[in-house]
């Protein structure tokens, strides 16, 4: 059993009368890839918002590597190495892809203001390292040709990649990806799966929200299934594939849609 | 090319006193220069964080009063029978204190307003300016109220090996203001291109995303407010020691509006914007005065403002830069070396 990285305990979120999450308990081990799946409106994004400090839970607690996250602001949680991406595309639209990454490298780029103003050697060498790192990241997500285009002018799939590169720039020890391949075509998705494995191989823990079932099944170590704010199943891809409650939730939703 | 333009501009400004002898015009240039420093400080907030300080003149005025009082000395009674007696210190100390005190006020205002954003900062800054104006008007024992602080000494600087030099003439003050303006420009430019500047820009473009990569909103905005207020305080100090008389009218709302107009017409978020906008609106009165009544002048300013923003909606400098450069990147000095080389090879 690996050490526990993320621990979500008895978390509930109420929006007025709406119960978006109720009594949610799960853990993610160091270096694991865990997927959080469930129909639209199940509460997956809400769970991300709680974990990353964008939303205070109505009840319950979240801890990361033993640190309680309650009451911490999003930037403080990011400082613990817990970094997320967003379901809706999120880039700095009026900056180039390259400059987006320089902003994303904020955590690594901190030098004292005085050093920066005076242009001291430490600030300069830090800036040089940041540029190198930004170039590496651009290459890593395969956007070299777009490096000097405004992020807002990129295709939807490319913007999603920028979003992931931005998160990587923030040096996560755990990465939360909210529907990263939605809007990507098949080949982009394929590349992306490789990328996720790569990231994990570098020791980054991953929590993934995704609707693309083949991808989820192929990439996850474990899957947590949410429906109407409750966890209805949890286990390896094989267990989940054959779980009656899960089939019911998905088929049920399909049936009401039809 | 950018630094070429910068050096040419500095040389051009430095040469002005060589051919311009008209004291009235020199005076207009000096006060314009002082206001341009104020506008640059306003631009740091408005252009690079998107926060509008509609009481910016408060920091300027506080700088002016702090510097004046430091160099004049004062003797005021406090409650419970305490008195503060301050003997005059050299104006240059006043200059430094002006920056420090104005910066502290910027910290206070930032602290009060940046936990909640939106219209908050605008309202807090306006109220702050009004409160400070009322204090200056009514604490007569300290500020002389409407009677004004007079006989403020000129700034004296110690030159190594040459002894002390008191900057009394317009010529000397012109170069003093020019020097402070250049330092301010360089300072803001360095800031904007540092990791701190990138944090500011990130916050302005997409706050949620910026926060998610670890950028601390409150800290970043407060720091920007402190630096901005400190620079405005420096400008106020220059003003006090040049004009040598200061009254609560310095806090008038119209002075803030003037700075805002300078920034917006020149181009907020552009380093050179406040300089260009400042030159236009600083010198416009000089040319309009002989041909127009004061009321007509105000209408003319409004007309010029509208025409500029109609023709060049982003402000003069950014609009022209777009037209001449057709850039893909707006990363002016963040120009990524590694990539431009590779791209050059690719295109070759
Ligand atoms: N800020 C909010 N205010 C009110 N209701 C919300 C808010 N955010 C999410 N919800 C509701 O909570 C439920 C869960 O939403 P969400 O977490 O976005 O689902 P998912 O990401 O699984 O599709 C939905 O019914 C949604 O409408
Ligand atoms: Mg969602």
SS3 readout for chain B: CHHHHHHHHHHHHHHHHHHCCCHHHHHHHHHHHHHHHHHHHHHHHHCCCCCCCCCCHHHHHHHHHHHHHHHHCEEEECHHHCEEEECCCCHHHHHHHHHHHHHHHHHHHHHHHCCCCCHHHHHHHHHHHHHHHHHHHHCHHHHCHHHCECCCCCCEEEECCCEEEECCCHHHHHHHHHHHHHHHHHHHHHHHCCHHHHHHHHHHHCHHHHHHCCCCHHHHHHHHHHHHHHHHHHHHHHHHHHHCCECHHHHCHHHHHHHHHHHHHHCCCCCCHHHHHHHHHHHHHHHHCCCCCHHHHHHHHHHHHHHHHHHCCCCHHHHHHHHHHCCCCCCCCCCCHHHHHHHHHHHC
Chain B touched by A148 (CB under 8 Å): yes
- Determine the distance separating the centroid of ligand 1 and the alpha carbon of A50, expressed in angstroms: 12
Q: Which domain holds residue B66?
A: 20-253
Interface of A with B in 124-143 (CB under 8 A): 130-132, 134-135, 138
Residue B297, pLDDT score? 84
Alpha carbon of A95: minimum distance to chain B alpha carbons (Å):
7
Cα–Cα distance for residue pair A127/A112, rounded to 1 Å = 12
- CATH assignment of the domain containing A74: 3.40.50.300
- Going by pLDDT thresholds of 50, 70 and 90, the confidence category of residue A242 is confident
Instruction: Identify the CA nearest to A46 among candidates A81, A4, A7, A84.
Output: A84
pLDDT in tens, A92-132: 999 999 999 999 999 887 777 888 888 788 888 888 899 99
Inside any domain, residue B270: no
Residues A75 and A120 in one domain: no
Residues of B with CB below 8 A from A94's CB? Answer: 205, 330
Chain B touched by A49 (CB under 8 Å): no
Residues A104 and A206 in one domain: no
Residue B6, pLDDT score? 85
Residue B119, pLDDT score? 81
Number of domains in chain B: 1
Residue A182, pLDDT score? 86
Inside any domain, residue B304: no
Residues A185 and A226 in one domain: yes
The pLDDT of A43-59, averaged and rounded, is 96
Inside any domain, residue B318: no
Inside any domain, residue B343: no
∠ Cα B199 A62 A58 (to 5°): 95
Cα–Cα distance for residue pair A258/A145, rounded to 1 Å = 43
Q: Which of A153, A168, A196 represents a domain boundary (last residue)?
A: A153
The structure tokens listed for B238 are 């220059």
Chain A touched by B211 (CB under 8 Å): yes
Inside any domain, residue B331: no
Atom from ligand 1 closest to the CA of residue A43: 17
Residue B345, pLDDT score? 39
Residue A179 has pLDDT above 50, yes or no: yes
Is the model more confident about B115 or about A90?
A90
Cα–Cα distance for residue pair B270/B274, rounded to 1 Å = 8
Residues A69 and A192 in one domain: yes
Maximum Cα interatomic distance, chain B, rounded to a whole number of Å: 81
Q: Which of B214, B329, B330 is nearest residue A107 as measured by Cβ atoms?
A: B214
Residue A50 has pLDDT above 70, yes or no: yes
- Determine the distance separating the centroid of ligand 2 and the alpha carbon of A89, expressed in angstroms: 12
- Determine the distance separating the centroid of ligand 1 and the alpha carbon of B101, expressed in angstroms: 47
Terminal Cα distance for chain A, rounded: 43
A1 Cβ below 6 A of ligand 1: no
Q: Which of A138, A153, A168 represents a domain boundary (last residue)?
A: A153
Residues A116 and A69 in one domain: no
Residues A144 and A173 in one domain: no
Residues A149 and A163 in one domain: no
Tell me the pLDDT of chain B averaged across its residues.
88
Residue B78, pLDDT score? 83
Atom from ligand 1 closest to the CA of residue A209: 21
Residue B216 has pLDDT above 90, yes or no: yes
Residues A101 and A191 in one domain: no
Cα–Cα distance for residue pair A62/A81, rounded to 1 Å = 15
Chain A touched by B331 (CB under 8 Å): yes
Residues A32 and A139 in one domain: no
Instruction: Identify the CA nearest to B306 among candidates B251, B261, B342, B243.
Output: B261
Task: Please give all residues whose CB falls under 5 A of ion ligand 2, grouped by chain where several chains appear.
Answer: A 44-45, 87
Residue A252, pLDDT score? 61
Q: Which of B205, B214, B215 is nearest residue A94 as measured by Cβ atoms?
A: B205
Inside any domain, residue B162: yes
- Whether the CB-CB separation of A140 and A89 falls below 8 Å is answered with no
Q: Which domain holds residue A65?
A: 4-91+157-257
Number of domains in chain A: 2
Residues A146 and A161 in one domain: no
Beta pairing, strands A205-209 & A33-37: parallel
* Residues making up chain B, counted from first to last: 348
Residues A233 and A177 in one domain: yes
Residues A201 and A82 in one domain: yes
Whose alpha carbon is nearest atom 14 of ligand 1? A43
Is the model more confident about B346 or about B232?
B232
CA B21 vs. chain centroid, Å, equals 27
- Whether the CB-CB separation of B178 and B13 falls below 8 Å is answered with yes
The pLDDT of B207-211, averaged and rounded, is 96
Q: What is the pTM of this model?
A: 0.89
pLDDT in tens, A181-190: 987 888 888 8
């Amino acid at each position: 059993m690996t050490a526990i990285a993320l621990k979500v305990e008895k978390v509930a979120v109420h929006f007025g009368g709406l119960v978006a999450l109720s009594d949610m308990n799960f853990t993610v081990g160091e270096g694991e890839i865990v997927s959080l799946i469930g129909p639209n409106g199940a509460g997956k994004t809400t769970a991300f918002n709680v974990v990353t400090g964008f939303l205070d839970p109505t009840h319950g607690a979240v801890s990361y590597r033993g640190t309680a996250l309650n009451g911490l602001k999003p930037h403080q949680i990011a400082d613990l190495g817990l970094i997320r991406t967003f379901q809706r595309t999120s880039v700095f639209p009026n900056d180039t892809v390259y400059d987006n990454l320089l902003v994303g490298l904020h955590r690594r780029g901190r030098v004292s203001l005085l050093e920066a103003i005076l242009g001291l050697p430490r600030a300069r060498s830090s800036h040089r390292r940041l540029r190198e790192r930004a170039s590496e990241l651009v290459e890593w997500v395969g956007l070299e040709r777009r490096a000097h285009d405004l992020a807002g002018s990129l295709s939807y799939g490319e913007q999603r990649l920028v979003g992931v590169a931005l998160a990587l720039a923030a040096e996560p020890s755990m990465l939360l990806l909210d529907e990263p391949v939605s809007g990507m075509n098949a080949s982009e998705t394929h590349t992306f799966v490789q990328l996720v494995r790569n990231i994990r191989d570098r020791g980054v823990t991953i929590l993934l929200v995704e609707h693309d079932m083949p991808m989820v099944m192929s990439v996850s170590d474990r899957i947590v299934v949410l429906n109407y704010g409750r966890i209805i199943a949890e286990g390896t891809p094989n267990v989940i594939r054959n779980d009656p409650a899960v089939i019911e939730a998905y088929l049920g939703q399909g049936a009401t849609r039809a | 090319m950018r630094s070429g333009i910068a050096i040419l501009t500095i040389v051009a400004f430095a040469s002005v006193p060589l051919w311009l002898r008209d004291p009235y015009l020199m005076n207009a240039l000096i006060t314009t220069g002082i206001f341009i420093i104020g506008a640059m400080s306003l631009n740091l907030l408005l252009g690079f964080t998107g926060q509008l300080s509609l009481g910016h003149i408060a920091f300027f005025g506080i700088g002016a009063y702090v510097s004046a009082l430091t160099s004049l000395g004062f003797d005021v009674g406090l409650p419970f029978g305490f008195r503060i007696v301050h003997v005059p210190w050299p104006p240059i100390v006043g200059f430094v204190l002006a920056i420090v005190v104005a910066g502290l006020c910027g910290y206070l205002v930032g602290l009060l307003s940046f936990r909640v954003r939106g219209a908050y900062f605008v309202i807090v800054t306006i109220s702050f300016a009004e409160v400070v104006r009322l204090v200056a008007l009514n604490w007569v024992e300290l500020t002389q109220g409407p009677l004004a602080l007079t006989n403020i000494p000129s700034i004296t600087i110690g030159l190594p090996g040459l002894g002390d030099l008191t900057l009394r003439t317009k010529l000397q003050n012109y170069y003093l203001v020019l020097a402070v303006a250049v330092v301010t420009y360089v300072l803001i430019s360095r800031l904007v291109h540092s990791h701190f500047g990138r944090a500011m820009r990130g916050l302005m473009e997409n706050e949620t995303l910026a926060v998610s990569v670890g950028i601390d909103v409150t800290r970043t905005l407060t720091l920007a407010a402190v630096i901005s207020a400190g620079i405005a305080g420096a400008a106020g100090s220059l003003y006090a020691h040049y004009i040598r008389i200061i009254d609560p009218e310095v806090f008038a709302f119209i002075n803030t509006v003037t700075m805002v107009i300078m920034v917006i017409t020149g181009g907020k978020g552009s380093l050179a914007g406040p300089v260009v906008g400042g030159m236009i609106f600083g010198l416009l009165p000089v040319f309009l005065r002989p041909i127009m009544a004061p009321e007509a002048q105000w209408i003319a300013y409004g007309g010029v403002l509208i025409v500029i923003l109609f023709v060049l909606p982003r402000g003069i400098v950014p609009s022209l830069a777009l037209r001449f450069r057709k850039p893909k990147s707006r990363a002016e000095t963040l120009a990524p070396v590694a990539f431009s080389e590779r791209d050059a090879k690719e295109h070759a």
